């Protein structure tokens, strides 16, 4: 998707999600968020009907700003055309940018934000801050509206696992609708494994044995985005959750005392550290970014890459035709793991929000309802090789090996899908402190697992005691 295609995915984080991210609003943004009141600027509501369950004002303008990243803009432009066809009197202003915060901050400050925003990318606005400052519209009316393809089902009934939960920060209100659905895990080339006469390793002994075999052939076992080591948790966190159960990750998300001292964290850290100690990580990895790590991987210099399902689209320019890209859940540590092999992290990415001070919030939610139709979902998946929040929506599509493996991984996981919230509840803590300050240092060999665990706990404790941070907890 071009030289800038990866910028958005660093957020997940994200996204997004990630994810998906990087650190976000300045204090000027935080304080300005609370200013002004645009209630008087709201457009007059339309009349609710079977065809218009949200009561959209059919002639009101709609202002939609999309993050222009690895997924491009065409899928959104296509969905806008559907809105315009549905509401021909409405004028839609559609724009895209990579500078979400710097371009939209003045509009938030002035009380004139867009009606719908894809809040993603390196300049993503901090969701926790936006929610904490009461700057977002509760999307419950959208979730309770009938879905476009089957009006007998509400929108909430057609979403993939975890989508609604990811939009919840306090109570049942849902402030964010993540449109993409990301499968995080260990990415690999089936072709590369076939050349080694190997299967994907389902336990850690088999992982180490395969890495040793690859090393003899001059191939590294692993690489990762060394400059952005918050990519490592995409496989490390579900590995830890698999070992000790989802309650271990919940405790970490809740910033609980001693959460990072759990035996499952110790086991996970020590296993990953062993990759470094035994020389199974591609030389120079700590100094490369996400694009460079993906390129090294598609060039066959390393077998495994912790990443999210955006990687297929993002690495398309360097991926050989016969690569046969796939994703798998983290290997088991051993038979004592609390959760079965197949347990993985999957959650929403590409977060869409409707600002509380938007003039046409109903239109913003209606645009999202249109995007969650089967036709819009298939259009997205077909064009950008990624799943959407719509549960299903792939029937009749010819899926790539990567997408097929992602769908198969979700089916294998069943209910054993984990969704760590640290990366969207506490963006800076996860990325700059724990990701770069501890896990990245450990994987580079500059910290022992014990030191990294101690550092993670110190960072978490400091965040827990910081009254300037809005704190969230699992229900």
With vertex at residue 378, the alpha carbon angle to CA 375 and CA 382, rounded to the nearest 5 degrees, is 140
Q: What CA–CA distance (Å, rounded) separates 60 from 157?
A: 29
The pLDDT of residue 7 is above 50:
no
Quick: pLDDT tens for 138-191: 999 999 999 999 999 999 999 998 899 899 987 889 999 999 999 999 999 999
Lowest-pLDDT range, 7-21, 31-45, 326-340, 439-453? 7-21
Give the CA count within 13 Å in the CB-facing half-sphere of 327.
32
The pLDDT of residue 12 is above 70:
no
Coil, helix or strand at residue 15:
coil
Q: 35 vs 473, which has greater pLDDT? A: 473
Average pLDDT of the chain to the nearest whole number: 90
H helix or E strand, kind and range, residue 392? none
pLDDT value of position 23: 35
Band of pLDDT at residue 40, cut at 50, 70 and 90 = low
The pLDDT of 114-137, averaged and rounded, is: 89
Quick: pLDDT tens for 182-230: 999 999 999 999 999 999 999 999 999 999 999 999 999 999 999 999 9
Q: From the CA atom positions of the chain, what is the Rg in Å?
A: 22
Coil, helix or strand at residue 210:
helix
Domain residue ranges of the chain, discontinuous segments joined by +: 11-181+347-399
Structure tokens at 316: 């398309």
Given the DSSP bridges, would you call strands 417-418 and 325-328 parallel, antiparallel or unpaired?
unpaired
Structure tokens at 96: 């895209």
pLDDT value of position 19: 31
State the residue for tokens 């963006």.
427
Band of pLDDT at residue 4, cut at 50, 70 and 90 = very low
The pLDDT of residue 38 is above 50:
no
The pLDDT of residue 67 is above 80:
yes
Contacts of 205 (CB under 8 A, 6+ apart): 334
Quick: pLDDT tens for 355-369: 999 999 999 999 999
The pLDDT of 394-407, averaged and rounded, is: 91
Quick: pLDDT tens for 251-280: 999 999 999 999 999 999 999 999 999 999
Number of Cβ atoms within 10 Å of the Cβ of 310: 32
Percent of the chain with pLDDT over 90: 76
The CATH superfamily of 11-181+347-399 is Periplasmic binding protein-like II (3.40.190.10)
Q: What CA–CA distance (Å, rounded) separates 319 from 300?
A: 10
In sequence order, what DSSP letters do the residues of 86-150 get, joined into one string?
HSTTPPEEEEEES-HHHHHHHHHHTT---SEEE--STT---HHHHHHTT-B---HHHHHSBPSS-
């Amino acid at each position: 998707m071009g030289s800038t295609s990866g910028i958005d995915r660093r957020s997940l984080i994200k996204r997004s999600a990630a994810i998906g991210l990087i650190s976000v609003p300045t204090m000027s943004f935080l304080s300005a968020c609370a200013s002004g009141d645009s209630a008087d600027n709201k457009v007059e509501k339309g009349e609710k009907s079977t065809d218009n369950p949200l009561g959209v004002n059919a002639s009101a303008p709609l202002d939609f700003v999309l993050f222009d990243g690895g997924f491009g803009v065409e899928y959104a432009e296509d969905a806008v055309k559907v809105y315009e066809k549905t509401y021909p009197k409405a004028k839609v202003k559609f724009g895209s940018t990579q500078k979400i915060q710097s371009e939209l901050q003045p509009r938030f400050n002035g009380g004139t934000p867009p009606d719908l925003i894809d809040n993603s990318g390196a300049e993503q606005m901090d969701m926790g801050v936006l929610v904490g400052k009461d700057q977002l519209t509760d999307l419950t009316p959208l979730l309770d509206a009938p879905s476009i393809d089957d009006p007998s089902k509400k929108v909430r009934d057609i979403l993939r696992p975890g989508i609604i939960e990811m939009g919840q920060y306090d109570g049942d209100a849902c402030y964010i609708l993540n449109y993409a659905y990301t499968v995080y895990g260990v990415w690999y080339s089936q072709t590369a494994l076939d050349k080694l006469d190997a299967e994907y390793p389902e336990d850690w002994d088999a992982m180490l044995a395969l890495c040793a075999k690859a090393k003899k052939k001059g191939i590294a076992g692993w690489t990762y985005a060394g400059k952005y080591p918050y990519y490592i948790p995409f496989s490390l966190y579900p590995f830890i959750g698999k070992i000790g159960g989802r309650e271990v990750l919940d405790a970490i998300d809740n910033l609980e005392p001693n959460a990072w001292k759990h035996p499952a964290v110790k086991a996970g850290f020590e296993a990953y550290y062993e990759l470094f100690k035994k020389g199974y990580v591609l030389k120079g990895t700590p100094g490369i970014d996400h694009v460079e790590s993906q390129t090294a991987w598609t060039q066959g210099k390393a077998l495994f890459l912790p990443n999210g399902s955006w990687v297929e689209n993002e690495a398309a320019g360097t991926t050989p035709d016969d690569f046969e890209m796939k994703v798998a859940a983290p290997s088991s540590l051993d038979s004592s793991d609390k959760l079965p092999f197949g347990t993985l992290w999957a959650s929403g990415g590409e977060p869409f929000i409707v600002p509380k001070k938007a003039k046409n919030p109903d239109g913003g939610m209606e645009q999202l309802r249109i995007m969650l139709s089967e036709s819009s979902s298939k259009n997205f998946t077909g064009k950008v090789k990624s799943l959407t929040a719509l549960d299903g929506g792939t029937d009749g599509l010819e899926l790539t090996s990567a997408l097929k493996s992602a769908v198969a991984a979700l089916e294998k996981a069943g209910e054993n899908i984990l969704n760590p919230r640290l990366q969207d509840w506490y963006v800076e803590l996860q990325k700059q402190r724990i990701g770069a300050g501890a896990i990245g240092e450990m994987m580079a060999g500059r910290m022992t697992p014990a030191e990294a665990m101690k550092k993670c706990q110190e960072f978490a404790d400091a965040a827990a005691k910081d009254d300037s941070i809005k704190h969230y907890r699992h229900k």
